[in-house]
Amino acid sequence: MTSDLGFPSHVFNEIPAMPASILVTAGNTSVPLDQVRVLTNRFSGRTGAGIAIEAWKRGHRVTLLTSQPETTASLLPPAAQASDSWRQRTYHSFDDLANLMAEELTTRPVDILIHSAAVSDYLVAGVFAPQTGTTFDPIQHHWSAADKPTLVDRSAGKIPSAEPELWLRLVRAPKLIDRVRRDWNFRGLVVKFKLEVGKTIEELRDLAERSRQYSEADLMVANTLEQVPHGALLGPIDGEYTLIPRAELPERLLDVLAQMYKDRNNGKRVIGSDRLGGRDPHPPSGSRSA
């Protein structure tokens, strides 16, 4: 008899404790408009914090990078705060998180990365106001002016609030999850998270798997905004994705990681390093090197 995750139903109770060093990212990044204003998203970091705390309860060494320490504080057992196996570091901006991830993954022993943070897709590359005489037609989506449409740079320590309208120039941010293998040369297990809007389960599954492969992640947790309160897809396990209830996600994800980590250290499935906390200088044949 097998579980809906593809393993025999009794296997999770047979997995021995194999303490790993786990890095979890949680929360949301902010992108500064000026020194007092930011662009961000509404995610609270609760999912990532829950996964990190469950990992610590299982005896793993956990580092949590979060922008929402108050969320963690509401969930964290008091014993964890004084534990040598629990670390927490706070970030705010996109750059803060990028720098912390680079530091943790390149200077400290990490076996598993669980990247659940909601990272900004775009960065602010300028704040502009239409020059006098320049107007924008929101119906026709058209700029007009007596001479030529011109925008004036209004970037400042605190952008003046006197302008009738402001325009932001947003440029695509680099995907931090894509830097994990290629720039930071991390060879441990990687879990990627993905959120979509208005997709069917079948569409989400296809998008998730393509995204996982592109980032060279080992597992993907994917859901839609509409599905967030209820659950997420986890996979691939034996080539399949399974819909996991939200309340069960930390335990089910860590169960799968425990099996994968055990197999890797037993030489059954070499995904990264064969040494606890190290990185394999010779990736398996066919893998992509940084």
Quote the number of domains for the chain: 2
Which of 64, 193, 188 lies closest to 118 in space, CA to CA? 193
Residues 255 and 197 in one domain: yes
Residue type, 120: S
Please give the pLDDT value at position 196. Answer: 93
Residues 117 and 127 in one domain: no
- Residue 60, pLDDT > 80, answer yes
Please give the pLDDT value at position 82. Answer: 85
Please give the pLDDT value at position 18. Answer: 64
Classify residue 277: in a domain, yes or no. no
E strand map for 202-254: 219-224, 231-237, 240-245
Residues 164 and 23 in one domain: no
Please give the pLDDT value at position 37. Answer: 92
Classify residue 159: in a domain, yes or no. yes
CATH number at residue 48: 3.40.50.10300
Residue 246: strand, helix, or coil: helix
- Residue 271, pLDDT > 80, answer no
Residues 111 and 212 in one domain: yes
Which of 245, 241, 252 lies closest to 230 in space, CA to CA? 245
Residues 204 and 189 in one domain: yes
pTM across the whole model = 0.83
Classify residue 283: in a domain, yes or no. no
Residues 129 and 109 in one domain: no
- Residue 14, pLDDT > 50, answer no
Domain span at residue 59 reads 18-121+175-265
Classify residue 233: in a domain, yes or no. yes
Classify residue 107: in a domain, yes or no. yes
Please give the pLDDT value at position 12. Answer: 40
pLDDT tens digits along 168-190? 999 999 999 999 999 999 999 99
Strands 219-224 and 189-196: parallel
Which pLDDT band holds residue 220 (cuts at 50, 70, 90)? very high
Residues 225 and 88 in one domain: yes
Classify residue 8: in a domain, yes or no. no
Kindly state the average pLDDT of the residues 138-148. Answer: 93
Domain endpoint, select from 141, 171, 201: 171
Residues 48 and 188 in one domain: yes
Classify residue 249: in a domain, yes or no. yes
Residues paired with 151 in a beta bridge: 130
Which of 213, 172, 189, 178 lies closest to 290 in space, CA to CA? 178
Residues 54 and 198 in one domain: yes
Classify residue 139: in a domain, yes or no. yes
Residues paired with 28 in a beta bridge: 118
Residues 257 and 115 in one domain: yes
Q: Distance (Å, rounded) from C-alpha 179 to C-alpha 270?
A: 21
Please give the pLDDT value at position 10. Answer: 38
Mean pLDDT of the chain: 86
Residues 159 and 209 in one domain: no
Residues 153 and 47 in one domain: no
